Amino acid sequence: MSVEIHSVHAAHGHGDMAHGEISLSGYLTGFILSVILTAVPFYLVMTGVLGDKKSTALVITAFAAVQIVVHMIFFLHMNTSSEGGWTMMALIFTIIMVMIAMTGSLWVMHHLNVNMMPTHEMGRMQ
């Protein structure tokens, strides 16, 4: 308990708002990385060099995930210590909620679609 109180105090004591450590090199690193991480998926889809659609989809999804992390670190300056760790806690909570909502919706609705009788079959039955 007292440890938490101390860390909040430490955050208060800083003149800058705990998102302090911004630097030119950090922004440039983030920018160059995200240019690469953006250009490659566009190139893959526009030229179709991988051939297989499923593997292309997997690769560009992976690129998006990495780019989101790059933006979080270099542009949003996320770390485990800012605001006494509470920004990270809020982020983790949000990610869990988003995952439950997204996978839940897609899963349930996909099964609904699969189990629905195709319309042309319905037509033949009448």
Which residues are near other proteins by CB under 8 A?
Answer: 2, 5-6, 9, 11-12, 17-19, 22-24, 27-28, 30-31, 34-35, 38, 41-42, 45-46, 53, 56-57, 60-61, 63-64, 67-68, 71-72, 75-76, 83, 86-87, 90-91, 93-94, 97-98, 101-102, 105-106, 109
Q: Which residue matches tokens 């955050």?
A: 11
Cα 100 to its chain centre, rounded Å, is: 14
User: Smallest gap, in angstroms, from Cβ of residue 123 to other proteins?
Assistant: 15
User: Smallest gap, in angstroms, from Cβ of residue 126 to other proteins?
Assistant: 21
DSSP 45-89: HHH-TT--HHHHHHHHHHHHHHHHHHHHHHTS---SSGGGGHHHH
